[in-house]
Amino acid sequence: MGGRAAVLVAAAVSTAVALSGALVMRAETGASAPEAIAPGDRPAGASATSLTDPPDPEDLPSLGLQFHGTWNHYDARQRDKVLDRIEESGATWVRLDVGWAMLQPTPGPLDQGWGLPVVDEVMEQLRERDLKVLVMFWLTPTWASSEKDAFTAQYTSPDDPADYAAALGKVAQRWGDVVDAYEIWNEPNLEDFYHGTDPQTYVDLLCASYPVVRRADPSAEVVFGGLMYNDDDWLQRAYDAGAGGCFDVMSVHSYQAPADSPPSQNDAGEVWNLRNLDEVRDTMIENGDRLPVWITEFGWSVHDNESDTEPWRRGVDEETQSRYAAEALTLLGDQFPYVDLAFWYKDAVNVTNSDEHQQGYAMLDENLRPRRVWHTFRDLYGVSR
């Protein structure tokens, strides 16, 4: 189908995620601490986008938030503030990206000097909270790849999938009491994040990981790496390569393109349309799978547009962001009952990154204060009722 070109062009939608999180450095001072927010407080004009007759939360997919807790723009205090806001929003899950290169920069045990203590600290903060945790595990260390360029190696599948699986097994053994699910890589159909985007190579990684996680953390779920867009064509190629039986949950990143399009936009078979979820589901059923689907990233970015703003970088205002979020979650509950969980991208503005499109997705501003969409989540999920 014609979606492949758009998938490749849209790489930059997520490139800042990789650039900032790839080799996480020591924590630096970031956003200032937020002020207390009373349950009924709203920013000016927020009532225009709040829901007068919200659906029953039981009729919606569970809500998750992308939490960049291992990134260098947070210290422990700021992470606590962000997690407070996430819990207050009505979200019950976080998606935490963890880099293999960070935890095992050399062969052998996990890095006790820096990488392991950082993730230990984050996991301890999560352990204290009533949140479920999805760990997205990715980024190949240089020793595990024949790729000579260190930066490129991170986004290249390891030479031996067993090395990745063994590292993930160590993660599951150490933090299995905190983690509820493990996502195998990020956007494996996107060249920027998985060089070659070869379904067979990815399936080798997925199927090597599945039994290792099962042994290390039997109660956890193994999640197919979130596909950029609802890419049913790439998924079929993965099934052809033997993906069936190697995961418990299918996941996709249901962004719209153009990026300011409403979630209700009619689908003409484009992978970048929310409604193309049904094509993903049909592909699963045709291959014998009726597993749940999780949307491990979705969202709209708040920023102004110029006359030459590319379609995939288009932004919306805060009111529209909030309305689209509510419409998307309600639509999922009404028409896509197999979608159990949807993760909003993302938690908070990263003050060290100047990409307005990336930062516009954030639920919290640069001072960790809620944007309108936070209030909409509270309305939808019953926290303030």
- Looking at residue 345, what is its pLDDT? 98
For residue 101, give both structure tokens: 């290169």
Cβ burial 57-80 (10 Å sphere, 16+ → b, else e): beebbbbbbbbbbbbbbbeeebbe
Helix (H, G, I), strand (E, B) or coil at 130: coil
CA angle centred on 359, ends 333 and 339, rounded to 5°: 15
pLDDT (tens digit per residue) in 288-330: 999 999 999 999 999 999 999 999 899 999 999 999 999 999 9
Paired strand residues for 307: none
Record: fold of 3-29+55-381:
TIM Barrel (3.20.20)
Residue 327 in tokens:
């419409």
Contact indicator for 348, 82 with CB cutoff of 8 Å: yes
Q: Return the ∠ at Cα 263 (arms to 232 and 6), rounded to 5°.
A: 45
User: Which CA distances in Å does 162 have to 134, 207, 239?
Assistant: 21, 10, 20
Beta strand residue intervals within 45-151, DSSP E: 62-67, 93-99, 132-138
pLDDT tens-digit profile, the chain (385 residues): 333 333 333 333 333 333 334 333 322 222 233 343 444 454 444 434 456 677 889 999 999 999 999 998 899 999 999 999 999 999 999 999 999 999 999 999 999 888 999 999 999 999 999 999 999 999 999 999 999 999 999 999 999 999 999 999 999 999 999 999 999 999 999 999 999 999 999 999 999 999 999 999 999 999 999 999 999 999 999 999 999 999 999 999 999 999 999 998 887 788 999 999 999 999 999 999 999 999 999 999 999 999 999 998 999 999 999 999 999 999 999 999 999 999 999 999 999 999 999 999 999 999 999 999 999 999 999 875 4
The 10s digit of each residue's pLDDT in 170-190 is: 999 999 999 999 999 999 999
Query: How far is residue 7's CA from residue 29's CA, in Å, rounded to a whole number?
Result: 35
Per-residue pLDDT tens digits for 104-134: 999 999 998 889 999 999 999 999 999 999 9
The three state secondary structure string of 4-39 is HHHHHHCCHHHHHHHHHHCCCCCCCCCCCCCCCCCC
Average model confidence (pLDDT) for the chain? 88
User: What's the CA gap between 253 and 363, in Å, rounded?
Assistant: 17
Report the distance separating Cα 220 and Cα 211, nearest Å.
11
By C-alpha distance, which of 142, 135, 51 is closest to 383? Answer: 51
Per-residue model confidence (pLDDT) at position 168 = 98
Cα distances from 372 to residues 35, 58, 85, in angstroms, run: 16, 22, 13
**To which residue do tokens 């009111």 refer?**
319
What span, in angstroms and rounded, lies between the C-alpha atoms of 13 and 23? 19
Distance in angstroms (rounded) separating the CA atoms of residues 48 and 44: 9
Burial label for 225, CB within 10 Å (0-12, 13-18, 19+), is: buried
Q: CA nearest 92: which of 216, 210, 180?
A: 180
Distance between CA atoms of 61 and 107, rounded to whole angstroms? 40
363, exposed or middle or buried, with CB in 10 Å at 0-12, 13-18, 19+?
Answer: buried
Residues 6+ apart with CB under 8 A from 247: 184, 206, 210, 222, 223, 224, 291
Q: Tell me the C-alpha distance between 110 and 372, whole Å.
A: 41
**What local confidence, expressed as pLDDT, does residue 263 receive?**
95
Ranges of each domain in the chain: 3-29+55-381
In which element (H, E) is residue 209 found? Answer: helix 199-216
